[in-house]
Amino acid sequence: MLYSDNTYPERRRAVKKSKYLASPNDDAVHKSAATELQKKLSTYAWNPELDEDHIMYCSDNKAHLYSLQRADFWTLQKDEWVSCFVINSWVNCLNWNQQDNMTRLVTPLVNYFDMERMPPVTKSIAHWRFVDRLKNFKYMDWKAIDPTKLEYIMTPAIAGNPGSHYVCFVVNFKSHKFEFLNSLTGGGEKLQLPNGEPSLYKQMFDVWLNEVEAFVTELYKLWKIKMPFQFTTFNWDTPKVPTQVDSDNCGVFCMKFLDEWGGEMQSFKGWSKLRKHGDNGKIAKIMDLRIDLCSSILTNSSNSRKEQVLKDAT
């Protein structure tokens, strides 16, 4: 069973089931702590009897260049490996929500293959590589971002050969730290190998960080403001974060880190009370997260299909 009797007992309450009752995960959905609307949206999105190629998330007016088919949303079902397309669309939602006040700039997924052995580049090239990462956010004018308001620049990253694990890289301007968030270890890991060489994650982080530094430096120059810090004074940190209980949910954790990370474990809403529930409580919480992520993407104002999806699902 997905849920034990002593884990979130309120989940056992009777719930009116979706008209799209066809997914093998429906029981898990309707036992979850999600809202009624979230349950209807997720069962609609995850229904295997509906057209898998149906576009459920996009921008009809080309405000951004991200789109998701129903088959992409299937990767948010229980125990599924989350698609990189879903993660990048989530990144788009997070940036879209901050158009009037950008404090948490998130770049699209960085990949092991693209970054592991990228040769050193000049600051100018690094700056334009970072700007190029933002090209699919058509609504975003990078020159209009106030550098003094930036609290974080973040990115999801996938490592492994082939790519097999999602993590997050963070430049924390509030605490002057470079933070590596890894749900597999929960924090505290070393970024150097026993022989003193940087780990794969550190190599990837360094390449992306070089671009971030060049971008931020150029942004301050553009705004004619003296940069009040130097990247050389920042400390490296692998802080404590919630841990996954299996090998399938790193993408879910990565997406929540991008949304909620605030520099400490207490940033994550509702996680502390799960400690007493053990692994079963975490599994139940992860199902809630998957449902929440699915419904949040579908109903985000960046989605031109939002109203039609709501009509069809309810």
Domain membership of residue 4 (yes or no) is no
Q: Cα–Cα distance between 19 and 282 in angstroms, integer?
A: 28
242 falls in which pLDDT band (50, 70, 90)?
Answer: confident
Domain membership of residue 2 (yes or no) is no
Number of structural domains found in the chain: 1
302 in Cβ contact with 63 (< 8 Å):
yes
Domain membership of residue 279 (yes or no) is yes
C-alpha closest to that of 238 among 170, 173, 290, 293:
170
Domain membership of residue 238 (yes or no) is yes
* Residue 295: alpha-carbon gap to chain centroid: 14
Question: Positive or negative CA dihedral for 294, 71, 249, 95?
Answer: negative
User: 195-215 pLDDT, tens per residue?
Assistant: 989 988 898 999 999 999 999
Q: Cα–Cα distance between 27 and 222 in angstroms, integer?
A: 54
For residue 272, pLDDT over 70 is answered with no
Domain membership of residue 281 (yes or no) is yes
Domain membership of residue 282 (yes or no) is yes
175 falls in which pLDDT band (50, 70, 90)?
Answer: very high
- DSSP code at position 137: -
Domain membership of residue 1 (yes or no) is no
Q: What are phi and psi of 231, to 5 degrees?
A: -60, -25
Q: Cα–Cα distance between 155 and 297 in angstroms, integer?
A: 18
User: 40-85 pLDDT, tens per residue?
Assistant: 999 999 999 999 999 999 999 899 999 999 999 999 998 899 999 9
Q: What is the CATH number of the domain that holds 246?
A: 3.40.395.10
Q: Would you call the peptide bond into 147 cis, given omega within 30 degrees of 0 as the criterion?
A: no
- DSSP code at position 144: G
Q: What letter represents residue 196's amino acid?
A: G
User: 8-19 pLDDT, tens per residue?
Assistant: 222 222 333 445
For residue 291, pLDDT over 50 is answered with yes
121 vs 235: which has the higher pLDDT = 235
The domain of 232 spans: 9-313
Domain membership of residue 92 (yes or no) is yes
Which residues are bridge partners to 171 per DSSP?
153, 178
